[in-house]
Every structure is written in structure tokens, then in C-alpha cells.
Structure 1
């Protein structure tokens, strides 16, 4: 079904987003101290050294990013059912809202609004996630045009 998506959302959902999930997984698993320290935008806000507990939580988050990558690939590259892909995108749309909200709450109003001062993780957690949210919203509203017809639909039309 992903091949039937209009070109821009197909690129975003099937290539760009899965790649970003891989990078998120790698950074959280390989460098949990850095990954955790950067969450609030200022390394000074993070503890000097993480506890083992905090490293496990950061690495488990990385594992969840890895799982999200695998689910994305499984859904987007294996199903021919438009309903499955659209339900998957709705689930991500809802998760985008939570992801941005949690990140903004953690940063606080002033830091969340200081876009020019965001570090790479603030851009990932808020900027990129908001971009994905608005891309999904635009797709749902049909702003990229209709999905391409499924090959089976084309065969049925030719047979008529």
C-alpha cells in the first residue's frame, strides 16, 4: 500500500521517518549519557553522570525506536491494505501529539518557545515530530492528492 501513497508522504513515511528512527535508536543505545543530557536542551540541566538505572531507561527508549523502525518497515512494505496503513498512520499521528507535548512540558514554556536555542534533540523531539504530524494531517485531508489506485483495481477496470 505504501507504493500507492502520493510521492511526498510516501518519501516521508517510508524513507525519512524510518531512517530517523534508526538514528534515534543508535544514539540512545550507544551514547545514553549524551542522549539523556541533551533531552532538555542544556547539558548543564543533566546530572554529571547517569546512574545505571538511567542508562537502562535511555537504552530501552533506543530499543523502542528500533522497534518502531521494524514496525514501520513491516507495515509499510508488506501490506497491500490501505486501511492497515491508514490506521498505522493514525496511531503515529496520535503518538506525535504526545511526543511533542511531553517534550514541551519537560523543556518548559520559555525554552520550548526559544526555537533558535534548540539543540539537535529538541529539533528531533519537537520540530521533526511536528513536521511528521502536519505531514500526516495534510495526507489525511487529501492535500497531497489521492492515493494511486491499487494494481488489483486497475486490473478490474481493464477487465470491464
Structure 2
């Protein structure tokens, strides 16, 4: 399926987004105390957050979130690399578009307006939660109405493969 997408969204959705999901999975599962401490930028260093202040409950929530990132990675790979039905891919991307809104909104509410718009004070986690998610959201917003050009049909791909074999 990935070959049916226009080039830019193909790279974003089949390469960059799965990598970003793994970038959320590993630290949440393997380093939950660090992951929790980095969720919101603060005046104090996140590394100053004591592991003693982290509860077993918060660690489980962080690791379960990491597990969700891992699941999202597996679903992305399964959908984007196994189906030839563009309708399935489009519906998948619409679901992610809606989830992007929730992801940014939850982060915005946790930060509060002043910290959310203070881009200079964002830490790498905030850049991922807001910056990267907005990039994915805007890419989906442009892809869905066809602003990157039309998807290629499976029959068009077959013609191209035959053409390349004869050259």
C-alpha cells in the first residue's frame, strides 16, 4: 500500500511516524521515571525529579502508554504495508487525525495556555507531544483532500513495474 501514497505523505506516514512511535515506546517502557518527569517542561530540571516521587501507579500508567505506542507502531506497519485498499488507509488516517486533536488538546490543557504558547521553553518531550503531532496532523489534513496529488491505483503501479522491467 505504501507505494500508492504520494511521495511526501508516504515518507511521513510509513517511515517518520513509525519511528516516532518507537521513540515514545522505548523510553516509556524502559525508563518510566524519566518519561514521567519529562512530560511537562518546568523551570527545574526534569532530572531533578526524584525517582522516590514517582509512584508505582504512575510508572504503570507510563508503561501502559508506552505499550499503546508499541501497539500503534504495529497497527501502522500492518495497515500501511499490507493493504492495497486505499479506503482502509484513508479511514486509518482519519482516525489518527482525530487522535492528533486529542493528543495536542490534552497536552495543551496540562501545560496551560501560557506555557503551551511559550515555544522557547518547550523541552524535547513537548516538541514531540505538540510539535511532531501538529506536523502529522497538518500532513494528514493536507493529504486527505488530495493536496499532495492523487493516490496511485494498484493497476497503475502494475503498469509502472512492467515498464521498469522492460527498460
User: With structure 2 as the length reference, what TM-score do the two structures score?
Assistant: 0.87
**Cα offsets for 1:115-151 (capped at 9, x unmatched):** 0110011000000000000000000121111111213
Mark the CA change 1:125 to 1:143 in structure 2 (over 3 Å): closer, same or farther. same
Query: How big is the shift at 1:2?
Result: 2.0
Cα distance in 2, alignment partners of residues 83 and 114 from structure 1: 39
RMSD of the alignment, in Å?
1.8
Cα distance in 1, alignment partners of residues 45 and 59 from structure 2: 16
- Which residue is 1:30 aligned to? 30
Q: Unpaired segments of 5 or more residues in structure 1?
A: 156-160
Query: How big is the shift at 1:62?
Result: 0.3
Mark the CA change 1:44 to 1:70 in structure 2 (over 3 Å): closer, same or farther. same
Query: How big is the shift at 1:44?
Result: 4.1
How many pairs does the alignment contain? 155
Q: Does 1:126 align with 2:130?
A: yes
- Which residue is 1:63 aligned to? 67
User: 8 Å contact 2:4–2:157 — kept in the other structure?
Assistant: no
- Which residue is 2:6 aligned to? 6
Query: How big is the shift at 1:104?
Result: 0.5
Q: Does 1:149 align with 2:161?
A: no
Mark the CA change 1:75 to 1:8 in structure 2 (over 3 Å): closer, same or farther. same
**Cα offsets for 1:23-55 (capped at 9, x unmatched):** 100010111111111111127497632011110
User: 8 Å contact 1:2–1:85 — kept in the other structure?
Assistant: no
Cα distance in 2, alignment partners of residues 12 and 28 from structure 1: 23
| Superposition misfits of 4+ residues, deviation over 6 angstroms | none
- Which residue is 2:162 aligned to? none
Q: Does 1:99 align with 2:92?
A: no
Cα distance in 2, alignment partners of residues 134 and 141 from structure 1: 12
The match for 1:117 among 106, 110, 121 is 121
Cα distance in 2, alignment partners of residues 38 and 28 from structure 1: 10
